[in-house]
Amino acid sequence: MKPILLASSIMALFLVGCSSTTSSQKAQTLVAATLYTMPVSPVIGTTLSGQKIKLGGFSGLVFNQEKDGNIYFQTVTDRGPNGELQGIDRPFLLPDFSPTVVVLKATPQNKELSVAAEIKLKKKDGSPLTGLPNTRLEENPIDVFGLYYSVDPQGLDIEGITADGEGGWWFAEEYAPSLVHFNVEGKMIRRLTPGQELPRQYNERKTNRGFEAIAKSDNKLYGFLQSPLPKETSKDGDFSRIVEVDLETMKTSAEYFYLFAKGNDK
């Protein structure tokens, strides 16, 4: 595991205690508390009102490799640029935006980040993935003028990334909520959902409070709900659920509970 902290600015990154592990060596610290900046951010699209949107809004980060004196990370964008919720209406500035895995190159010599590669994610049929809501019941996608966009039952609101060990990725996302597997080419392989591979009660998660993080250890996958399920409390405070999935059977093998300090709910 390469511990890192993504700064609040989407164009800056703190690499904290970043380490590398080989089969014969323990993790060694390479970079500590160093600020890396991205001088140039690519434009990803233009809104209907003519605003140019730059690359950013990253939701997760994982160490990739060291090569030629550089350190590479894989990050994933969120569902795409969007505005504040207005009732149940959510403005989507670039509705055709495809959530993307972005490979970032950190160059220690000049403390700069650059984009080394981009892998746009695709649905199972190979068509572009979108970040649009699955239904209109909780978030209704609109344009900047208030007109409706179509929903997408396969759209993903990605919040966490982890490597699958085979060149691809597992993502945690908030809509279903679900845990989703993509291959090295960025094509969806499977989507684990409540009532199928995951506990049915996860369907009850609060709006925009689905899976916020993900981790993989050997043949186990872990999905972390951002907040407690409605009406789930204990005498000591609220708790959130962590699901464990056995990747050999693709079934839930355990659940764990994270207790929040009183007054906190995410």
pLDDT given at position 183: 98
**Mean pLDDT value across residues 69-80:** 94
pLDDT given at position 232: 80
pLDDT band at 252 (very low <50, low <70, confident <90, very high): very high
Residues 79/157, Cβ–Cβ less than 8 Å: yes
Got the DSSP string for 125-145?
TSSBP----S-TTT-EEE-TT
Task: Please say if the pLDDT value at position 7 is more than 60.
Answer: no
- Among 213, 235, 209, 233, which residue's Cα sits nearest to residue 223? 213
Task: Please say if the pLDDT value at position 228 is more than 60.
Answer: yes
pLDDT band at 28 (very low <50, low <70, confident <90, very high): very low
Residues 30/71, Cβ–Cβ less than 8 Å: yes
Task: Please say if the pLDDT value at position 1 is more than 90.
Answer: no
pLDDT band at 236 (very low <50, low <70, confident <90, very high): low
Task: Out of 3-17, 53-67, 136-150, 156-170, pick the least confident.
Answer: 3-17
pLDDT given at position 168: 97
Strands (E), 135-236: 140-142, 158-163, 169-173, 178-182, 188-192, 211-217, 220-225, 233-234
pLDDT given at position 20: 35
CA distances 253 to 77, 160, 219, 244, Å, are 29, 21, 11, 6
Residues 217/191, Cβ–Cβ less than 8 Å: no
The counts of H helices and E strands in the chain are 0, 21
Q: Rg of the chain's alpha carbons, rounded to an integer?
A: 19
Cβ partners under 8 Å of residue 67, min gap 6: none
Task: Out of 19-23, 76-80, 148-152, pick the least confident.
Answer: 19-23
